[in-house]
Amino acid sequence: MRLVSNPPNPWHSNYIEWIDCPPPAAQLEIYEEQAKTVLSENDSPDVGFRFSLNPYRGCFHACAYCYARPTHQYWDFGAGTDFERKIIVKTNAPEKLRETFMKKSWQGDLVVFSGNTDCYQPLEVSYTLTRRCLEVCYEFRNPVGLITKSALVRRDIDVLSKLARDARAGVHMSIAFADDAMARKIEPNAPAPSTRFAAIRALTEAGIPVGVAVAPIIPGLNDSQLAQILERAHENGAREAFRVMLRLPSQVKDVFFERLQQEYPDRVQKVTHAIREMRNGALYNSQFGERAHGVGERWNAIQWLFDTTCKRLGYNVSSENHWKWTTETTFRRPSAQLNLFE
């Protein structure tokens, strides 16, 4: 990696990057990296996909609960403010993705963008790595899934709509709060929920399948907003939904409770007690298959509310599930003759 002393200015562009919030006062450091590989492979039963693509390490959205924070420590950075201010950019991501697709071993599996950090964080405006990777996916007609909490995804509606039409593509908008003010305190540099609901509508109107990820569910803080999130997302066109309970691995716990103490000191004890109630007395369960949900009566009530609301609104009834394409793919390697005629 190399430190970029004068990184591209994300505010000099044709798009509005800082949606609903001013640029934070913290100094941003950009590290450009020539990645050896661009796809990450996982075998966790907690996620429904095998391959993910993350053009950026670290995330300027600065969500207090982000489970990806500890991964920044692999690069000798901290999981707190370093995760939010020292961003690593994989500048060769599109080239590496093309290289992967050209290998005979690649079989056209679903590639999910943002399996770790958000692929549409503000620096994407300058680097356009996500867009260029999507263009590579379209060239090869490779199935795409995308998870984000950024309205910047609207910029790439043209590419995503072509993928949805000629290959397979779907977007899930991550929304943890229905209340804009509460979201701003816990997700300080992410677009407001109301802006994300508007993005769902824009994507839907362009013919792109959209879902909502109610993630994370924080008992004692946002669990009462679950039904409202599902209702508003459905009103704007979302037709798939999933939920994930708050995960607090290692240093994430310290960052989360520091933010909670700062913004909602009167709820710290309530949230702590609720989490322990759903985690058999602990604050986190690292076991595969157990991390994304809780246990006990309180969690059962949350799960019942989620399931009944989804059933009432008509979520998750489509015959196609964007995250479980395992046997069928639209992937093909373009030939020179095919490119000529296209």
pLDDT (tens, 9 = 90+) of the chain, 342 residues, equals 666 444 555 544 444 455 666 555 558 899 999 999 999 988 776 667 889 999 999 999 999 999 999 999 998 999 999 999 999 999 999 999 999 999 999 999 999 998 889 999 999 999 999 999 999 999 999 999 999 999 999 999 999 999 999 999 999 999 999 999 999 999 999 999 999 999 999 999 999 999 999 999 999 999 999 999 999 999 999 999 999 999 998 889 999 999 999 999 999 999 999 999 999 999 998 887 788 889 999 999 999 999 999 999 999 987 555 445 445 789 999 875 455 445
Which is it for strands 29-33 and 86-90: parallel, antiparallel or unpaired?
A: parallel
Q: For residue 73, tell me if it sits in a domain.
A: yes
Which is it for strands 56-57 and 29-33: parallel, antiparallel or unpaired?
A: unpaired
Q: For residue 198, tell me if it sits in a domain.
A: yes
Name the pTM for this structure.
0.89
Q: For residue 340, tell me if it sits in a domain.
A: no
Helix (H, G, I), strand (E, B) or coil at 286: coil
Q: Give the whole-angstrom CA distance, residue 132 versus residue 134.
A: 5
The pLDDT of residue 26 is 58
Instruction: Give me the amino acid identity at 258.
Output: E
Task: Decide: 267 and 197 in contact? Cβ < 8 Å.
Answer: no
Element (H, E) at 195: helix 193-205
Q: For residue 1, tell me if it sits in a domain.
A: no
Distance from CA of residue 211 to its chain's centroid?
12
Number of domains in the chain: 1
Place of tokens 């599902």: 230
- In which domain, by residue range, is 198 found? 8-316
Q: CA separation (Å) from 5 to 28, 29, 62, 336?
A: 10, 8, 22, 41
Q: Give the whole-angstrom CA distance, residue 69 versus residue 84.
A: 9
Q: Give the whole-angstrom CA distance, residue 156 versus residue 160.
A: 6
Query: Could you tell me which residues are beta bridge partners of residue 30?
Result: 4, 87
Q: For residue 115, tell me if it sits in a domain.
A: yes
CATH number at residue 43: 3.20.20.70
The pLDDT of residue 290 is 82
Q: Which residues have a Cβ under 8 Å from the Cβ of 25 and sit 6 or more positions away?
A: none
Query: Could you tell me which residues are beta bridge partners of residue 169?
Result: 144
